[in-house]
A and B are shown apart, each in its own frame.
Chain A
Amino acid sequence: MKPRIRSPKDFWAGVLYAGFGGIAVTIARDYGMGSGARMGPAYFPTVLGSLLLLIGIASMVRSLMKDGEPLGTIAWKPMVLVTAATVLFGLLLRAAGLVPAIVVLVLVSAAASVKFRLEWRSLGLMALLVAFCALVFVEGLGLNVPLLGAWFHR
């Protein structure tokens, strides 16, 4: 009989562990192992990485033997939009300034919601949020970012 993945959650978690463990052990080979008495920088990570690799393999093996729940749908849209919005916020923060960065973060991330509508009420609330952040973080707490960055001062 051909082996079949009966528990996808266990399988993919195993792949994740084995991957992280394998990477940890591989990279640690560049560092000094040291000796028992003088643990080098590679010692502890190699031990941990090998353990994680074993756990990953165990989890994958178990996924072939025991039935488990299916993965279920993956929320691609929220995942991509929330991540993209956060990364864009980081990219814009210094160059464009805090105000545009917040506007982009809010609009892009809000697009992930099925209930969000672009209407006066939500725009008004966003303006309030921008004003609050500008006042509290930049003026009040002295956060080191421009409200409007270099892009707006040519």
Chain B
Amino acid sequence: MDLLSHLGLGIATAATGVNLFYCLAGVFLGTAIGVLPGLGPVATIAMLLPVTFGLPPETALIMLAGIFYGAQYGGSTTAILVNLPGESSSVVTALDGYQMARQGRAGTALATAAIASFFAGTVCTLLIALAAPPLSEMALKFGPADYFSLMVLGLVASIVLASGSLLHALGMIILGLLLGLIGTDVNSGTARYSFELPELNDGINFVVVAMGVFGLGEIIANLQTEGTRSVTLTKIAGLMPSRDDFKRMVAPILRGTALGSALGILPGGGAMLSSFAAYSLEKKASRNAAQFGKGAIEGVAAPEAANNAGAQASFIPMLTLGIPSNPVMALMIGALIMHGIQPGPGVMAEQPALFWGLVVSMWIGNFFLLVLNLPLIGLWVRMISVPYHYLYPTILVFCGIGVFSLANTQFDIYLMAAFGVLGYVFRKLDCEPAPMMLGFILGPMMEEYLRRALLMSKGDATVLVTRPISATLLAVSAVGLVAVLLPALREKREEAFQQ
């Protein structure tokens, strides 16, 4: 059977000593940095990315995936213990998780989160292994016009599913697309928007943007509210959930996993939407609905399963189509390109060891999370209680060194500082930076596909609507856009994000 031989190849790649070590190291480092209050997965991955540059591509990607799960789980730990969700996807976990912690059941909440994540991760690994081959086979039939429209759909979906103003989401995407075009145009050799600076000829490195906007910008914003935040830790006793707890978490975990995997595959979906949706679903479906918000174990299990399932399922469009569905996947695509791999349907055919190694390492990473995190919980608690005024200068030092090491130039440090200010300004103006990151990565690809599509059609732009695949994709995007603009649906959407 194909699936077995694929997974066999994956195990052979992922289970080498070196790769296991880096997977473990990634999970460990990711959790260690992810638990720090105020550092989400994007900033964590951007900070740790330079560490992986010296590694071979498979190992680097395996480590990055490990960092990602670690960061995600670290965020949940912080949300449960101190009610400071480091990222939007663990906001929901904080609702009931923190209440459980206040009732002295922090250990149980953490264990529930770990078990739910592990289960969802296992299911999703299988899902990727099953869904990826047919999807990339389909994608191989795509022409440039279809790819262009697919990226349009991806960007539109990220607008539809983003919280906040549509106009701003659209503006941020286009701004990102434009920033992505800075540098030498591959076809004409013209240096665009380089302001005569040789450092800009190769374009802006995505790590610089991510660290500036998500790292520095976040720090400035956090410092503004520093006086009002206090970290009070609750005691942790009794990790193991009781029999009754287990009984209560089974159904929510199953529902959360299903919902998360479905939503995660959608472009623009991913962890955040999944966890929000799972929480509201659970609130409606559960027999203990009255306990929600007061420390219901279901309120931790469902969003945590969904969050991890969504996070992992978002690897599917990234690996098979080369489309990032969230900023984290945008960083992964950036990392692949830096290693000389063009993300897309070709990856599976040309680099089977890398592809299947990554898939198998996802499961291994989730397993490490389970066995590593619960025994080490004391260490994470100590990391959380580091005061912010010791923490952020240290983060700045690592960001500075990391950005410098990309190309051994100070210019990137100055650029990061500029993006830090921009990131803070965006936050003040309620402009979400996540769509900008997607646009930034997709900008050059979209231009290239559009150029090729128009070249093949001799300048006839109708090729975008006459090819059936492209036309369908554009039609779906149009329906999506119109749907959010309709007042009735708009209210529903706002309602959904209110919860």
- In the bound complex, do residue A133 and residue B401 qualify as a contact, i.e. CB atoms below 8 Å apart? yes
* Inter-chain CB contacts under 8 Å: number: 188
Q: Which residues of A contact B356 (CB under 8 A)?
A: none
Instruction: Find out whether the CB atom of B192 lies under 8 angstroms from the CB atom of A9.
Output: no
Known: A45-B181, A78-B223. A86 touches B175 (CB 8 A): no
* Chain B interface SS verdict (over half): helix
The answer on a CB contact under 8 Å between A45 and B455 is no
Per the CB 8 Å criterion, the residue count for chain B at the interface is: 65
Q: A105-B396, A106-B397 are in contact. Are A39 and B226 (CB under 8 A)?
A: no
Tell me which residues across on chain A come within 8 A of B192, comparing CB atoms.
27-28, 31, 41, 45
Flag if A39 contacts B451 (CB, 8 Å). yes
- Out of A13, A71, A105, which one reaches B171, CB within 8 Å? A13
Contact B224 A78, beta carbon cutoff 8 Å: yes
The CA of A98 and the CA of B404, in the complex, are separated in Å by 11
Q: Is the CB of A85 within 8 A of B396?
A: yes
B413/A83 in contact, CB under 8 A: no
Given contacts A78-B223, A85-B396, contact A143 B389 (CB under 8 A): no
B177 cross-chain contacts in A, Cβ below 8 A: 48
Interface centre among A56, A86, A93 (most CB of B within 10 A): A86
Taking a contact as CB atoms closer than 8 A, the residue among B175, B421, B458 that contacts A83 in the complex is: B421
Whether A86 pairs with B396 at a CB distance below 8 angstroms is yes
A145 within 8 A of B: yes
With the chains together, A35 CA to B404 CA distance in Å?
40
Q: Is A90 within 8 A of B455, CB to CB?
A: no
- CB 8 Å contact bits of B217-242 with A (1 = contact, 0 = none): 00111011011000000000000000
Contact with A along B451-473 (1 / 0, CB 8 A): 10011011111000000000000
**Cα separation A47 to B381 with both chains bound (whole Å):** 51
Known: A31-B192, A51-B174, A56-B171. A93 touches B451 (CB 8 A): no
* Contact A52:B454 (CB < 8 A) given known A113-B223, A114-B226, A143-B401: no
CB contacts (< 8 Å) of A113 on chain B: these are: 223, 226, 388-389, 392
Is A90 a contact partner of B413 (Cβ separation < 8 A)? yes
Distance in angstroms from B414 CB to nearest chain A CB is: 5
Query: Which one, B387, B455, B461, contacts A115 given CB within 8 A?
Result: B387
* A40, B188: Cβ atoms closer than 8 Å: yes
Q: How far is the CB of A88 from chain B (nearest CB, A)?
A: 10
In chain B, positions 377-415 with a C-beta closer than 8 Å to chain A are: 387-390, 392-394, 396-397, 399-401, 404-405, 408, 410-411, 413-414
Chain A interface mostly: helix
Give Cα A13–Cα B457 distance, bound, in whole angstroms: 38
Contacts of B393 in A (CB 8 A): 105-106, 109-110, 126
Q: Residue A5 at the B interface, CB < 8 A?
A: no
Complexed CA–CA distance, A73 and B223 (Å)? 13
> Is the C-beta of B193 less than 8 angstroms from some C-beta in chain A?
yes
Q: For chain A, residues 1 to 33, give those with C-beta under 8 angstroms from any C-beta of chain B.
A: 9-10, 12-13, 16-17, 20-21, 24, 27-28, 31-32
B255 at the interface (CB under 8 A from A): no
Cβ-based interface call for B216 (8 A): yes
CA distance A5 to B387 in the complex (A): 40
Contact B174 A52, beta carbon cutoff 8 Å: yes
Q: Given the interface contacts A75-B221, A106-B397, A115-B387, does A86 sit within 8 Å of B417 by beta carbon? A: yes
A48-B177, A106-B393 are known contacts. Are A90 and B414 too (CB-CB below 8 A)?
A: yes
Q: Are B400 and A9 in contact (CB under 8 A)?
A: no
Identify B458's interface contact among A12, A13, A37, CB under 8 A.
Answer: A37
Extra A-B contacts (5), CB below 8 Å, given A55-B174, A82-B219, A133-B401: A21-B178, A41-B187, A94-B410, A106-B393, A137-B405
Chain A to chain B contacts (Cβ below 8 Å), 16 pairs: A21-B178, A24-B193, A39-B451, A56-B171, A71-B428, A73-B224, A79-B424, A82-B220, A83-B421, A86-B417, A87-B413, A110-B389, A113-B388, A129-B394, A143-B401, A144-B408
**Partner-A contacts on B (CB < 8 A):** 54, 165, 167-168, 170-171, 174-175, 177-178, 181, 185, 187-188, 190, 192-193, 216, 219-221, 223-224, 226-227, 387-390, 392-394, 396-397, 399-401, 404-405, 408, 410-411, 413-414, 416-417, 420-421, 424-425, 428-431, 446-447, 450-451, 454-455, 457-461
